[in-house]
Amino acid sequence: MDAERCGEDTVHLINKLTVIASEQYKNFVSDLQAGIKEALYDRPTKATEAYFLGKTVKDGENFVQISQKQAKDIYRYLIKNDYIDTDDNVTDFYRADAENNRLAPLPESLQPIAKGVHMLVKSIFDESVLDEMIDNGNDTKINDNNLNDNFYKKEFQELWGHINRQYAYQVEFDSKELIEKAIKHLNEKMFINNLQYTVTKGEQAKNLDEHAIKSGTSFVRENTKTNPLRKAQGSQIKYDLIGKIAEGTTLTRRTVVAILSGIDNHVFAKFKENPEEFITKAIRLIKEQKASMIVEHITYNSIEQNDGPKYSSNIFTMNKSAGDYAKAFRAKKHIQDYVFTDGTAVKSVERRFAEDMDDASEVCVYAKLPKDFKIPTPVGNYSPDWAIAFHKGAVKHIFFIAETKGTMSSLEITPIEKAKIDCAKALFNKMSTSKVKYHEVKSYQTLLDVMGKL
C-alpha cells in the first residue's frame, strides 16, 4: 500500500486483510489485532462530518472515497434519526437499532455504500469491528457448489421427474363448523399482555473508567417500578380489525365478522387494551382451527404444463455464500459435493441424518431440497427437507421425501406446521400416482422403521 495512504483514513477501508500465517494463526491474529487497536487508541470518538469526509468505502466491487456532499448527508441522517447527540457522540438509539437490525434507511444517494457507512459509525464505539477486517488466508476458498454426477444418475432423475411438477389443491369444508370452532378457540386461548412501562432509578457510580462504561456498570440501579400503560385519550390511530384478520387468515370479511361477533364480550374487549397483539393472535388462533380442518378435506391435482417442469435444476445451486462452507458436510452420495444443514449444534438432527444416509449402503443418491422447492397448502407453502432414491430391492419404497424433526411428538409441533406436514402426506401418500412416499422422521433409523408401515 502507498505510504501516503497509510493512517487513519485507510484503517477504516471496508476491505479484509488476508493473513497467510502458520498453524499458530489464532495467536498471530490476536497479536495483530492488539497492535492495530493499540495504534487506534486515539481513534475518532465522534461522528462528525469531517470524520466521514474522505474515508474509503466499498460501492459494489469498487472502492470510493466519501465526498463532501455524502459526508454532509451522513451527518444529517444521524442527526435526523437521533443517532448522535448535540456533542456528536453516537447515541444509545443507534446502538439499539443496529443491534435489532432496524436502522432507519439511509438516503437513496447513500444506499450503495450503506454497509460501509454503518461500519464507520460502529467503529467509533465498537473496536470489535476490526475483527471483521481480518481473514485467514490458509482457509480453502470455495466459490460454488455445482451439481455433481450424482444428480445425473438415472435413479435421481426418475425421482426428480416424479416430484418436479406443479400442484393445485382444492379444499371444501363447512364454514359454519369453522366459525364455531374458531369462536371456541378464541374464547379459550386469547390471552393479551397489558401494555406496561418500567421506570428504573439509579445513580452514576462515583469512580468511572472506560471498562465500566463499556460493560454497562457505570450506573447503579436502585429500584424499578412497572406501571400499566393506559390508552392515550383522543388517539387518532385506526385499525382495520376485520380487514387485517381476513387478509391474514385468507377468509372472507363476512366469515371474520361472524367469528368476532360470536366471541365473549370480555375477550373482544382485549382488542382495546392491545390492538396489535389482539390482531396477531386472532389470526394465529383462527389459522390453527382452519389448519386442523383442511387436512380432512384437501385434494391435490397435478397441473399439466406445456413449458416443461416447474423448477430448474439451478434452484439447488442458488443462494450459497462462501462463509457457509466452514460448517458444510462433504458428502459422497449427495447431488452436490457439500450439504448445508440447519441447526447450530455441531451434530444437528439434519447433520446426523445426512451423515447416516451417506454411509447407508441401501441409499443410492439423495438431495437436500432447497427452500425454493415448495408445495402449496392452504396455510402457506411448505418445503420438505430431503429427496432420497434407494437402490432397487434394498427397501420397500424406492423413492422417499423426508422431513427431519428433532421430535416426533405432535404436542411439540405447531398446529399450522402439522397441517403442512399432513398436506404433504396427503399429496405423496394418498393421491400421488408416483412411487414417492413421504413422512416426518427424527433419524435415518426412524425412516427405515416407518417405511415398512406406509
Low-confidence ranges of the chain (pLDDT < 70): 1-44, 60-61, 127-143, 194-196, 205, 207-221, 228-236, 304-309, 319-324, 343-346, 406-412, 431-434
Round to whole Å and give the CA distance between 424 and 315.
20
Return the percent helix, strand and coil in the chain, to nearest 5.
45, 15, 35
Q: Which three cell numbers stand for residue 439?
A: 413422512
What pLDDT is attached to residue 78? Answer: 93
What pLDDT is attached to residue 423? Answer: 86
What pLDDT is attached to residue 301? Answer: 78
What pLDDT is attached to residue 369? Answer: 92
Neighbours of 311 (CB within 10 A): 18
What pLDDT is attached to residue 167? Answer: 80
Round to whole Å and give the CA distance between 152 and 288.
41
Q: To which residue does cell 472506560 refer?
A: 210
What pLDDT is attached to residue 26? Answer: 53
What pLDDT is attached to residue 143? Answer: 56
Round to whole Å and give the CA distance between 99 and 82.
16
For 333-391, how does the pLDDT look when each residue is reduced to its tens digit (9 = 90+)? 999 999 988 765 557 889 999 999 999 999 999 999 988 888 888 778 888 999 999 99
Residues 6 or more apart whose CB falls under 8 angstroms from that of 270 comprise: 190, 192, 278
What pLDDT is attached to residue 6? Answer: 44
What pLDDT is attached to residue 334? Answer: 96
What pLDDT is attached to residue 234? Answer: 44
- Alpha helices, DSSP H, located in 250-321: 253-262, 265-268, 270-273, 275-297
For 246-286, how does the pLDDT look when each residue is reduced to its tens digit (9 = 90+)? 998 888 999 999 999 999 999 998 888 888 889 999 998 99
DSSP 232-268: PTT------HHHHHHHHHT--HHHHHHHHHHS-HHHH
User: pTM for the whole thing?
Assistant: 0.53
